[in-house]
A and B are shown apart, each in its own frame.
Chain A
Amino acid sequence: MSSNNPETKYFLLKKSKVKDLLNTLYKEFEIFVPVEEEGMVNFKRYKLNNNFNMEFTNTLLPPKGLFLPQQETLFTINYKKEELIEENLETSRRIIFGIRPCDSRSLTILDEVFKEKSEDVYYLQKRNNTLLIGLGCSNPQIYCFCSSLEVDPGKDSSVDIFLTDLGEKYLVTANTKEGQQLIKDLPVYFEKAGEEEITRALEIQSQAREGFSVGFAKKDTEIFRDVEIIFEHPIWEELAETCLGCGICTYLCSTCHCFDIADELAKNEGRRFRCWDSCQFFSFTNMTSGHNPRPNRKERIRQRFLHKLSYFVSRYGSIACVGCGRCLRNCPVDIDITRVIGAINHE
């Protein structure tokens, strides 16, 4: 997270130099780059001269895991010595190289949650230590609908440095002081951009906004403000008939952030950790008494949608969805948030 600086500057970075750049940055930063493995692209820790794949559409798993890992130890207790050992907070400086606009937007959404009232140091430490180098989308995928959520796929000013693909090279935009500093420190990689390249990049950026296959109109989300009406809508029953109650849509979602906290004991040691949890699981709301306020898939699937479209909006002012399309791509039964919004408004 960095302070915004209105004064942006344009540079050029040759694609052929990206590896050298990463190798240089590697000395100071822990870098995460998109890497293709087993037919999936995901952010992986960069090691010297590693291969990476910048021609990816988007990563299968959202980058939220780099800030809110699927599991993370909070502290351990040694019974014998009667001491509590706090988990060391991440202190290494990190870079995410190639984060897409929808996903960087998801981080600002998560920030709201982890900063509210008490600050979540585990999350925030990682967030504050991380520089984001964003990558614009010139070719939105068939399941993307970020533009319905006011995310601009072509242009992202929330990241420290933003890259626009010009074919052989990237147009580099520094959005923050930290981003500018990084560029300033490494002049061998960044040349000044000419007028012509800037114009071409702006064109590419604006083109990205076209060509979406799915989506919804902004006003269609207004109906969710009135929870009273929407709560008993028949669509939840309908969705529950086919929803499998798996964890795909929440685990793969860039903005879902629910976690469970548990303690585990070993011989002389106790450990408290947190790990992802999903509102789609029965156990999510099951109480010790055996009572479960969300006993059926209907209540659970409704929770997923209403949390994103109603509750989050009234609490933080924005929809907890960035249109990355991961849920749509991966749901085994093709439950599609854009269709749900459309159906509630127009059927």
Chain B
Amino acid sequence: MEIVAFCCQWCSYAGADLAGTSRLKYPANIRIIKIPCSSRINPTFILKALSKGVDGVMVAGCHPGDCHYSNGNYFTRRRLTVLKRLIEFCGINPERLQLYWISAAEGGKFAESVKDIISRLEKIQDKPFPKNSGSSL
């Protein structure tokens, strides 16, 4: 299983760090990409990952109300709510896209979130996007 995690640098990325330094165990299937704020996510990032055949994408940001830029994550929440419906309509199980709120202090929650998305993905039957059918870009 392959999962791409887009993590906000102010919170969940630090949370992932903390999970690491606290030696918390979480599945090794994720590839973390640091972003400046969860609202930096352009749907294309997610779509591109999914179209390459990854099994799931997780986006992680600061808790609502705690965004470093005040309210970026509120926008993210709105956008991803709609994006989920769009990928669902276009044949990708919406479970493959998850958004989590993880603070820099929540190393544990980070590990839990990774486990959570994996257990969700294990439950679904349908296939992800065919792998390597696109360009190598």
Interface residues of A (CB under 8 A from B): 264-266, 269, 271
CA distance A16 to B53 in the complex (A): 47
CA distance A264 to B136 in the complex (A): 6
CA distance A269 to B137 in the complex (A): 11
CA distance A63 to B136 in the complex (A): 28
Interface of B is mostly: loop
CA distance A265 to B135 in the complex (A): 9
Within 8 A of A (CB), among B24-58: none
Closest to B136 in A: A266
Closest CB in chain A relative to B115 CB, distance in Å: 28
A-B contact pairs, 7 of them (CB 8 A): A264-B135, A264-B136, A264-B137, A265-B136, A266-B136, A269-B136, A271-B136
Residues of B close to A264: CB separation below 8 A: 135-137
Residues of B close to A266: CB separation below 8 A: 136
Residues of A close to B137: CB separation below 8 A: 264
Counting from the closest, the 7 A-B pairs by CB-CB distance are A266-B136, A264-B136, A264-B137, A264-B135, A265-B136, A271-B136, A269-B136
CA distance A271 to B135 in the complex (A): 10
Closest to A267 in B: B136
CA distance A78 to B122 in the complex (A): 35
CA distance A269 to B135 in the complex (A): 12
CA distance A121 to B137 in the complex (A): 26
CA distance A269 to B136 in the complex (A): 9
Residues of B close to A265: CB separation below 8 A: 136
Within 8 A of A (CB), among B111-137: 135-137
Closest CB in chain B relative to A72 CB, distance in Å: 13
CA distance A253 to B137 in the complex (A): 28
Closest to B135 in A: A264
Residues of B close to A271: CB separation below 8 A: 136
Closest to A265 in B: B136
Residues of A close to B135: CB separation below 8 A: 264
CA distance A144 to B136 in the complex (A): 41
CA distance A46 to B110 in the complex (A): 54
Residues of A close to B136: CB separation below 8 A: 264-266, 269, 271
CA distance A264 to B135 in the complex (A): 8
Closest to A266 in B: B136
Closest CB in chain A relative to B133 CB, distance in Å: 13
CA distance A73 to B136 in the complex (A): 13
Closest CB in chain B relative to A143 CB, distance in Å: 34
Closest to A71 in B: B135
CA distance A264 to B137 in the complex (A): 6
CA distance A271 to B136 in the complex (A): 9
CA distance A266 to B135 in the complex (A): 9
Closest to B137 in A: A264
CA distance A266 to B131 in the complex (A): 13
CA distance A6 to B137 in the complex (A): 52
Closest CB in chain A relative to B96 CB, distance in Å: 23
Closest CB in chain B relative to A110 CB, distance in Å: 26
Closest CB in chain A relative to B131 CB, distance in Å: 12
CA distance A127 to B86 in the complex (A): 43
Closest to B132 in A: A266
Closest CB in chain A relative to B67 CB, distance in Å: 35
Closest CB in chain A relative to B119 CB, distance in Å: 29
Beta-carbon contacts of B79-94 to A below 8 Å, as 1s and 0s?
0000000000000000
CA distance A266 to B136 in the complex (A): 5
CA distance A269 to B132 in the complex (A): 13
Closest CB in chain A relative to B132 CB, distance in Å: 9
